[in-house]
Chain A
Amino acid sequence: NAGVTQTPKFQVLKTGQSMTLQCAQDMNHNSMYWYRQDPGMGLRLIYYSASEGTTDKGEVPNGYNVSRLNKREFSLRLESAAPSQTSVYFCASTSSSDEQYFGPGTRLTVT
């Protein structure tokens, strides 16, 4: 039981490049989330998926897109990376009793 896994762990992009962050969970959870974590600002919700086939915007969705590929996988795409998207990105999934489990994170730097 691996919990929530994310790839890659680290990534450096140039401004304008695109990339997809991958996330998978093996806990059979319906809800999945993408957050970004910046110093002094806690965790901010980018997008979430309440169930397979649905996605909704969170607090900071601009510049991002998501795909809920199936119940296990939820990917985050940056179409044209900007320096303001330099951050640590966390994927999470939530159990039916509201317990939220986080992945190890992806540290992204945009130059």
Chain B
Amino acid sequence: GENVEQHPSTLSVQEGDSAVIKCTYSDSASNYFPWYKQELGKGPQLIIDIRSNVGEKKDQRIAVTLNKTAKHFSLHITETQPEDSAVYFCAASKGTYKYIFGTGTRLKVLA
């Protein structure tokens, strides 16, 4: 069935370093790839997304890249700060009201 694999499950980086989280999807018809940040005790919050007709998208310190051939996409956070510490989820959708989520990455930014 459709699934999204996300790696790593935990990631620790020093403040100021970059963090990269990777996801692989199985359904080649997927065309929308959002990333969410979830802080403790809160709901997931959309932070950036990319569509299948775009290879890269950037918003200040965060960027997402998409490789349709390999069916994987990645979240890049540069110049990490303590407030970036959270759980990050990727997802894939093909516009049929169904979003398949990865299992999450717990990012810890060490001061």
Contacts and interface: CB of A to CB of B under 8 A. Distances in A.
Nearest to B99: A100
In the complex, which range does the number of interface residues on chain B fall in? 20 to 34
- The binding surface of chain A is classed by DSSP as strand
A4 B91 CA distance: 20
A19 B46 CA distance: 29
Nearest to A43: B101
Interface in A23-51: 31, 33, 40-45, 48, 50
Given A40-B103, A98-B93, A45 B42 contact: no
In the complex, which range does the number of interface residues on chain A fall in? 20 to 34
Given A48-B97, A98-B93, A90 B34 contact: no
Nearest to A103: B43
B46 A45 contact: no
Contacts of B8: none
